[in-house]
Amino acid sequence: MKHCLVIGKPNSGKTLFLLNLAEYLGYKEIEFDVERADGSRWQRQYTLMEARMTLVGPTPHVTQALYATTVILRKGKMTVEVRLTDSTGFCEGIHKDASVRQAMAQTLRQLRQRSMILHMIDGVDAACGGVSKIDEQLVRYVTGCSGYAILVNKMDLLRASEGLLNVRNRFPHHMVIPVSALKRTGFGEVRSFVVGAF
């Protein structure tokens, strides 16, 4: 089994992407193993609609824990298992809320144990101010990891293509996949990338 961690800034669309990807892969429900930075753990099963209503939103840091689920993908005649984990968004500077700081540290620890990383960048964000400092730092941190791809999200929005261009120009040697977590575009390419790692 490969461990695939979804990382990025708050609000880049990590959670919506993971949930809609699971639906795209044929799942109607999702079971999460949730682990908080304080060590507490629990399991929770959602329908995908419930999960979207509970876990996705414009408020930063809705996700303050690791949410892991296992999905099964077809690779030719075989099936492969992927442990997909949603994580706490990284923001610049020192966050005022200790629980958010601890959750970010937990995600950083997880980064070292990953076998694959999907790094979500908000395409509109990347259009406005170019690639953010924190995204630059994340790319530098994971350089050398073979199972690494940048997903430029929110391609359904007007300025996102400009953001995609900025990201591609800035990181010409990395795999960059444009997606819309909302409209579920680019998912086939992400699926091929993940399956290709096996």
Pick from 119, 163, 180, 187 the residue near ligand GDP by CB under 6 A. 180
* Residue 151: partners with Cβ closer than 8 Å, 6 or more residues away: 17, 118, 119, 120, 121, 176, 177, 178, 179, 186, 190
| Cα radius of gyration rounded to whole Å, the chain | 16
Q: Which 58-77 positions form the footprint of ligand GDP (CB under 6 A)?
A: 58, 62-63
Out of 4, 5, 7, 16, the residue judged to bind ligand GDP by CB under 6 A: 16
Q: Please count the residues of the chain.
A: 198
Give yes or no for residue 134 binding ligand GDP (CB under 6 A).
Answer: no
Nearest distance in Å: CB 53, ligand GDP: 11
**Nearest-CA neighbor of 27 among 87, 89, 70?**
70
Q: Which is nearer to ligand GDP, 103 or 194 (CB)?
A: 103
CA-to-CA separations, 89 to 9, 78, 113, 145, 184, in angstroms, rounded: 4, 34, 17, 20, 21
Compute the distance between CA of residue 63 and CA of residue 60 in angstroms, rounded to an integer. Answer: 8
Measured distance CA(108)–CA(7) in Å, rounded? 10
Decide: is 88 part of the binding site for ligand GDP (CB under 6 A): no
Which of Mg ion, ligand GDP, none interacts with 57 (beta carbon under 5 to 8 A by kind)?
ligand GDP
- Answer yes or no whether residue 181 interacts with ligand GDP by CB under 6 A: yes
What number of CA atoms fall less than 13 Å from residue 82's CA on the CB side?
30
13 near ligand GDP, judged by CB under 6 A? yes
User: Footprint of ligand GDP on residues 30-59 (CB under 6 A)?
Assistant: 56-58
- CB 79, min distance to ligand GDP, A: 27
Site string for Mg ion, 46-65 (x = CB under 5 A): -----------------x--
- Give the DSSP per-residue string, 81-105: EEEEEE-PPP-SS--S-HHHHHHHH
The entry of Mg ion, ligand GDP, none that residue 12 binds, CB within 5 to 8 Å by partner kind: ligand GDP
Q: To the nearest whole angstrom, how small is the minimum distance from the Cβ of residue 3 to ligand GDP?
A: 18
Distance CA 60, CA 144 (A): 29
**Residues forming the site for ligand GDP (CB under 6 A):** 8, 10-16, 56-58, 62-63, 89, 153-154, 156-157, 180-182
